[in-house]
Structure 1
């Protein structure tokens, strides 16, 4: 167990990720440059956008041809580029559209791993460019954490976060889409009843308070002092129905 005196730290001036790279190495070099060491038990909340960019998951929208379904949905949600809609359909791995949820101001999709995300995790980053989520954010979180341990000797947990909206509420929050080292659920018992909290989303939302949204340029937040058992086998699937 780690101490329960919790603090947070923004990673200001973190290098902008614009192409495929070794993100763990960038993180390690940044800490060395800032002379700001990681500590055992730190939880790094990392924005999915830089995860996708570091994996080279850029999509040239000029290469995407919208299907009849994408064009039909575009008429329902005209603010969405039909090419983006096609990418959303593609990400669900179901070209019939049965894994989508659509309203006049919202498109959400279920990913193969069971997560439900606004736009199925597709994010437009330019006029003709988008990025998509990796197929396995848990594995990438593990790779980053293990390389940090190999190079620094510090055992940290990783929570990959993504901005997400809800069909019943305006605006966006942050949720977890991948993790390593910390179980996504926290279970407590009171009066004979077991209570379950989606702790990975609580941590992601806490980091989101500091990350902000597009333009803030804060892609990583450290949460230090949160009490948890390090779990090498933890994955986001533990928190998915």
Structure 2
């Protein structure tokens, strides 16, 4: 497969037509996978916010005080309130705020960004990345993955992950296929949209690169069953249950 960043995109502002901006810069094919950073989707959808819009409640003030004391620096309780408001649930709130977003993604600080946001303090994740991906898919006539970067348990560093997708399944379901010895696979489900998001992140980069869109070309899903299961249900997530039990015992 070939992977390249889309050059020449302007700074995206509220109300901008992201599909049109992409279409102006690249000739897409129907089998391309267009990986679009959630930051520009959020900017176009008006998901910017200012800290002054948040009135910190008791829990937000407590979180900011505890985290600030551990870090040796003052933390703004309004930011803690922004995370609480953007979350369905906080699995833990110390030493980090690990949030469950309304669409099922679990990430630190509810994925709220504080960099590269002209004219605002905060940038929230898209309200429904799946719906955003479907709109882009229809407009661009190509497969789409809306991406973000996220940390990982047990490892240092961030990598690209998928928040929403359209035009392809989330995963290759290998269950029922066989290995080289003829043994049937019973558990392997490959999260291809995450792998595509991570691939895109290699060429879009971080910081001040200004290339929030990548195209993955000549990649095929293959003759596999597809699955759209990506975010684990609470009853199937042993790590989530353990964190909830640990938080409750604190």
Q: Give me the TM-score of the superposition, normalised by structure 1.
A: 0.82
In the other structure, the counterpart of 1:217 is 210
**In the TM superposition, what whole-angstrom CA distance separates every residue of 1:33-53 from its partner, at most 9, and x where no partner exists?**
xxxx11120000110000100
Indicate yes or no: 2:44 matched with 1:49.
Answer: no
In the other structure, the counterpart of 1:21 is 16
Contact map agreement 2:28 2:140 (CA 8 A) in 1: no
The 2-side partners of 1:73 and 1:167 are apart by: 21
- Picking from 146, 154, 160, the partner of 1:160 is 146
In the other structure, the counterpart of 1:58 is 48
Contact map agreement 1:114 1:240 (CA 8 A) in 2: yes
Cα-Cα RMSD: 2.2
Greater RCO structure (CA 8 Å; 6+ sep): 1
- Give the match's secondary structure for 1:77: helix
Q: Which segments of 5 or more consecutive residues in structure 1 lack a partner in the other structure?
A: 1-5, 32-36, 150-155
- 1:70-219 maps to which residues of 2 (within 5 A)? 70-78=60-68, 80-94=75-89, 99-104=90-95, 106-125=96-115, 129-149=121-141, 156-188=142-174, 189=177, 190=179, 191-194=183-186, 195-219=188-212
The 2-side partners of 1:217 and 1:42 are apart by: 21
Contact map agreement 1:62 1:128 (CA 8 A) in 2: no
**In the TM superposition, what whole-angstrom CA distance separates every residue of 1:187-229 from its partner, at most 9, and x where no partner exists?**
2223111321111111111111112112121100101111127
Distance 1:147 1:162, change over 3 A: same
Contact map agreement 1:8 1:223 (CA 8 A) in 2: yes
Q: Which segments of 5 or more consecutive residues in structure 2 lack a partner in the other structure?
A: 233-250
Contact map agreement 2:137 2:144 (CA 8 A) in 1: yes
- Picking from 39, 44, 49, the partner of 2:29 is 39
The 2-side partners of 1:89 and 1:214 are apart by: 26
Contact map agreement 1:180 1:234 (CA 8 A) in 2: no
The 2-side partners of 1:175 and 1:141 are apart by: 14
**In the TM superposition, what whole-angstrom CA distance separates every residue of 1:33-92 from its partner, at most 9, and x where no partner exists?**
xxxx11120000110000100111111211111111111111232265322211111111
Distance 1:112 1:157, change over 3 A: same
Larger strand fraction of residues: 1
